Amino acid sequence: MSPKVTVGGSLPDIERCCDWLRCCGGGEPRPRTVWLGHPEKRDQRYPRNVINNQKYNFFTFLPGVLFNQFKYFFNLYFLLLACSQFVPDMRLGALYTYWVPLGFVLAVTIIREAVEEIRCYLRDKEVNSQVYSRLTARGTMKVKSANIQVGDLIIVEKNQRDQRSCFLRTDQLDGETDWKLRLPVACTQRLPTAADLLQIRSYIYAEEPNIDIHNFVGTFTREDSDPPVSESLSIENALWAGTVVASGEASPKVGQPGRAAGELHLSGLLSASRCSLRVNLDMGKIVYSWVIRRDSKIPGTVVRSSTIPEQLGRISYLLTDKTGTLTQNEMVFKRLHLGTVAYGLDSMDEVQSHIFSIYTQQSQDPPAQKGPTLTTKVRRTMSSRVHEAVKAIALCHNVTPVYESNGVTDQAEAEKQYEDSCRVYQASSPDEVALVQWTESVGLTLVGRDQSSMQLRTPGDQILNFTILQIFPFTYESKRMGIIVRDESTGEITFYMKGADVVMAGIVRYNDWLEEECGNMAREGLRVLVVAKKSLAEEQYQDFEARYVQAKLSVHDRSLKVATVIESLEMEMELLCLTGVEDQLQADVRPTLEILRNAGIKVWMLTGDKLETATCTAKNAHLVTRNQDIHVFRLVTNRGEAHLELNAFRRKHDCALVISGDSLEVCLKYYEYEFMELACQCPAVVCCRCAPTQKAQIVRLLQERTGKLTCAVGDGGNDVSMIQESDCGVGVEGKEGKQAALASDFSITQFKHLGRLLMVHGRNSYKRSAALSQFVIHRSLCISTMQAVFSSVFYFASVPLYQGFLIIGVSLGHLLPSSPSPLLTWNGRNKGECDRGGGLRRGAGGRVSSQQRGLRGGHRPLPTWTFSACPGSTIMYGALLLFESEFVHIVAISFTSLILTELLMVALTIQTWHWLMTVAELLSLACYIASLVFLHEFIDVYFIATLSFLWKVSVITLVSCLPLYILKYLRRRFSPPSYSKLTS
């Protein structure tokens, strides 16, 4: 085990640092000079090394929550209405009739926000409280992550071999689960102990902060040596903090029923029970979230935003990442192509035979023949070509074999003996691991590697030693990686390179098969790499090395100078082979996408992969059906080309679109409206080579252009901006870390759980919220009708029917438990979706149609709402008719009838009873009975206990419910719901 000493805080969160510097008056970010082990020598102010995902802090919590509540007009309207009651001339009734409901709603909202903030704070505290070892003059000291300062020397320990290098994963930054090799500063490795780092005078010059996580320019300088020693620093020497690039801050999301309810309240009809609807909706959302977390069919699902569960049932566009979300991010080697011959999985034994024949030197000639035949020559030539290709694949990579103790063999002994059972490959890409594992399967095994050497084992157990002279890592700009090695047995120096076909085509010698075969393999869904080599003379390499070292020491334009030197070698290279690996699909991706597509949800796949690979994955996942055409939007670079291509695309119908990120950027620049109009008509859209910022931009454009709800799902840090921009963000906890899951509204463990989350829980949450709104609106209309009839009796005098705490009780107390949504609601259209245990299940056949997703009951026409107010007038006229001589008790009569009517209507609406609904009905009735003790000022208890009162109120209640029951029966008789047709 070897401790790795890093400069803590010298490479902080880039984006946060940039924002902090601007906010604190620091102007534009500047280069930094950091003294090792001496934080007090820093010449700039830096932000603290803390992670903060909270929306508020202690001081901004209450103002922030209140602002987010009252920034909506309908909330502000009722606040102003309540404030107006402080003016005597404008007062209507007691103050508490306005402020108690408003205060109750705000209290529920504040408590909910506080709980979510506390949970977020605890998650951040867990990260910020991680303990590290800091190197000081008095030895090592434990320090929390939040207390690390710029210039601190931090010891990072890991169970690794002592080979002066380490690996890290950047999954929290770019979504890649691969291992990145990082190297120490060479001159510090010559110090006897780590404590000697504090005795030398050294500092690091680092470039200004920026959002590019794939490049870094710096210089390490030691002043106390004679002469001073300077060494260049690059991305290979940097360990970034686990941050997210350009994620931004998530804005508060509000569910559609909540907004719609607010708009309805502005009509003035529902102002009496508006705090009641808000409270019931909020309580309902809490219950929905609880049901989602408790669903055993989607284990591990977490609800991080309890304000928008019903939004899941109204999604029109689903935007999904590819790698790690639709696919497993596990690469399998599928194809080796040598130009004239290709080897697949069924012919890998031939490759193994070629490698075996090369290293065992066994003649393939028959014993009776005296000389080699044509077949033998062809065999030997093919063996040499296969051997050169396999050897290049086995050497050109940054994979390192790591030997771990298996409980029987000692770790050092296992490494010494190259035990296969103890070996684990670590690399910067799953592609490279797949390639090295394949070379092992055909006979050439990577058994050892450090910073300067590499060892291969042949089929005859011979160890081949190679010295690593130079490594040129893969970058997103170069799209290739290279390595220069010297064969210790022959002294030959060889430059190997592999990369994407678009860049390698201009590097290798002329050939007539590269472009065609790359296209064929990509159409099969394979990720293609082109492998080439070039032999170098000793003098040629020495000249290159001198120029390369000089370029790396440059402070200005270092990347350009280094690239120029490397490009001097990248000419006329020998093309060896093409390799193809495939990323496996996640479980049940196809049926999940089929369910979503049948439900009317359009799926857009946004990925950073190349066009051919993304297209093939879309086909394999059935994102694009077999009978659908695919229009590949050709690469455009200017307005004219974009215009012509859009016209060509306009002539296509019912055609899926595949477009690259570069072409998309050009189209959005000149023809944003036209492009979005055409794209939204497509059954599916695939955007390849898509940057994280483009993903968020697409989500935003869909929301603006269509006005429909979007859902974004991803598993990596590069999906965070898209997830937070969408109406419903879903994170998948996978190999790419938890950054996407932590930043999402809902997190799942597998993509297949998305179907149930949207089609079952989302649909039911939306339907129940709509049903709840209907009940509260119905109650409000009844109260308004009762008030109108009551006022007409007194010649339309402004005398309220219910005063003081009575109206508050109607809104918040008596009917709160009987509201269907906060517990479990199953109306007629929910039948068949709840099993005996109370769990949720899909409709018939496991399919959900677009008609099922809609809520016809949520958009009733005005005559229906007017007719639903009949119980209110029935109650009042019935009271006038039956209690003509006792009209003084009209409050007790109408109030009791209203309570019983609403409870009876809830009971008549429910088709599938649950024990919680029974408890809710009884609890609501008990609340009314218990409240009679406190409402004696308005209700005469002795009067309502008489037999005459009981039978007359019962008659009024039954008569008030009869018209709606008849209407419901006729509707079910002549216009039955879809589920009854399916079940019959």
List residues forming the annotated binding site: 321-323, 432, 474, 498, 527, 607-609, 689, 695, 715, 718-719
Q: Phi and psi for 261 in degrees, rounded to 5? A: -65, -40
Which has the closest alpha carbon to 132: 156, 152, 151, 150?
156
> What is the spatial distance between Cα 683 and Cα 602, in angstroms, rounded to a whole number?
6
> What is the spatial distance between Cα 445 and Cα 391, in angstroms, rounded to a whole number?
10
The encoded tokens of residue 924 equal: 């609501």
Q: Which residues have a Cβ under 8 Å from the Cβ of 655 and sit 6 or more positions away?
A: 628, 629, 630, 631, 649, 682, 683
Which has the closest alpha carbon to 943: 873, 884, 893?
893
Phi-psi region of 557 (alpha: psi -120 to 50; beta: other; left: phi over 0): left
The binding site for Mg(2+) consists of 321, 323, 715, 719
The encoded tokens of residue 909 equal: 């609406």
Which has the closest alpha carbon to 902: 868, 948, 864?
868
The answer to whether the beta carbons of residues 174 and 716 sit under 8 Å apart is yes
The encoded tokens of residue 803 equal: 């005063």
Question: CA distances (Å), 43 to each of 9, 199, 228, 264, in order?
Answer: 14, 21, 22, 59
Phi-psi region of 459 (alpha: psi -120 to 50; beta: other; left: phi over 0): alpha
Q: Which amino acid makes up residue 561?
A: K
Q: Which residues have a Cβ under 8 Å from the Cβ of 482 and sit 6 or more positions away?
A: 396, 470, 471, 472, 495, 496, 497, 498, 566, 569, 570
The encoded tokens of residue 191 equal: 């110090």
Q: Which amino acid makes up residue 758?
A: L
Q: Phi and psi for 700 in degrees, rounded to 5? A: -65, -40
Which has the closest alpha carbon to 287: 769, 877, 865?
769
DSSP, collapsed to helix, strand or coil, labels residue 713 as strand
Q: Phi and psi for 530 in degrees, rounded to 5? A: -100, 130
Catalytic residue among 152, 174, 178, 321: 321
Q: Which amino acid makes up residue 33?
A: T
Helices (H) and strands (E) in the chain, counts: 34, 30
DSSP, collapsed to helix, strand or coil, labels residue 617 as helix
Question: CA distances (Å), 475 to each of 268, 428, 478, in order?
Answer: 62, 11, 5
Specify whether 835 is catalytic: no
Give the 3-state secondary structure of 413-444.
HHHHHCCHHHEEEECCCHHHHHHHHHHHHCCC
Active site residues: 321
